[in-house]
Amino acid sequence: MQFLSNETNIQFMSKRHLAAAFSIILVIASLSSLVMQGLNFGIDFTGGTMIELGYEEEANLNEIREELASGGYPDATVQNFGSIYDVLIRLPIIETQNMAELSNEVVATLQSQHETTIDVRRVEFVGPQVGEELTEQGGLAMLYALIGILIYVSLRFEYRFAIGSVVALVHDVIITLGFFSLTRIEFDLTVLAAILAIIGYSLNDTIVVFDRIRETFLRLRKGSSEEIVNAALNDTLSRTLMTSLTTLLVVVALFMFGGEVIHAFSIALLLGIVIGTYSSIYIASNTILALGVSKEDLLPPVKEDDGNINPDGSQV
């Protein structure tokens, strides 16, 4: 199915230096924010208590926050969970308090302000040691994914393509993390899952582009490397736009109707899809051009002549 009716001839690589400068600025800004203020980790990583409550009437989140603040829990995070009657309360670790009894005290504080019964649906406690292990394992998961991708693309294509794909993936991850650092949106396990999904999505798009670039290098006898890459990008443009737009429709629906629980997750996916599409064109392709890829690099190796074969083809 073609998204674009007419054959395009966009000179993507004519702007590759400008795109590289733009990406470098974004990466530097992201790294600076990550170094100076880090991420706003949720209790999945820092430890704390999660309490899910069910109200008989519509829950007023602002009133619940005020009740918790007056009860001695000003750092509590309150949000709807699934419906307007369900509430999710997150509390950081309180050193001077027994966390096992904390949920009972929080529920008692809220119940004293309401005549109707508050139903306790779920209580979860994450210790600081568990949170530290999740942080370490999450970072290792991304590192292992990048190493595996580097090995696969090196074997499937050529080492310049492997470097280009990893540069694009690192670019996508750093900018996404930098966005969460700058905006102070809570970074929890759902966001980590979204980043791993972004790596897979961006890699899929990059592999499709690289495959067409390789085919175009072998098909066209004339033209510079930049012209051949431009031709390949135009050939895959319809597929790239169709894939990105249909995926964005689903993620936008999640963002608008999914509720607060997956709000950060959907934001990470939205950002990742846009950046992943951009990086497949302007980062991955730009990198292989900067590394000097040419048609000769993609030609199959020439078999050495057997010394026992005569010029007429007969064997001795």
| Average pLDDT taken over every residue of the chain | 81
pLDDT at residue 308 greater than cutoff 80: no
Q: Determine which of 4-8, 17-21, 252-256 has the lowest per-residue pLDDT on average.
A: 4-8
Buried b (16+ CB within 10 A) or exposed e, 14-41: eebeebeeebeebeebbeebbeeeebeb
Q: What is the C-alpha to C-alpha distance for residues 63 and 42, in angstroms, rounded to an integer?
A: 23
For the whole model, what pTM was predicted? Answer: 0.78
pLDDT at 190: 85
Q: What is the pLDDT of residues 156-187, one digit of tens each?
A: 777 888 888 889 988 999 999 999 999 988 88
Higher pLDDT, 311 or 106: 106
52 burial type by CB count under 10 A (0-12 exposed, 13-18 middle, 19+ buried)? middle
Is the model's pLDDT at 18 over the cut of 90? yes
The pLDDT value given to residue 35? 93
Is residue 21's pLDDT more than 90?
yes
Q: Which of 122, 124, 113 is nearest to 57 (CA)?
A: 113
Domains of the chain: residue spans and CATH:
12-39+130-295 (1.20.1640.10), 48-126 (3.30.70.3400)
| 172, 274, 28, 209: CA torsion to nearest 10 | 50
pLDDT of 217 over the 90 cut: no
Q: What is the pLDDT of residue 95?
A: 66
CB environment 191-229: b (16+ within 10 A), e (fewer): bbebbeebbebbbebbbebbebbbebbeeeeeeebeebb
Mean pLDDT value of segment 32-55:
84
Residue 188, phi then psi, degrees to nearest 5: -125, -170
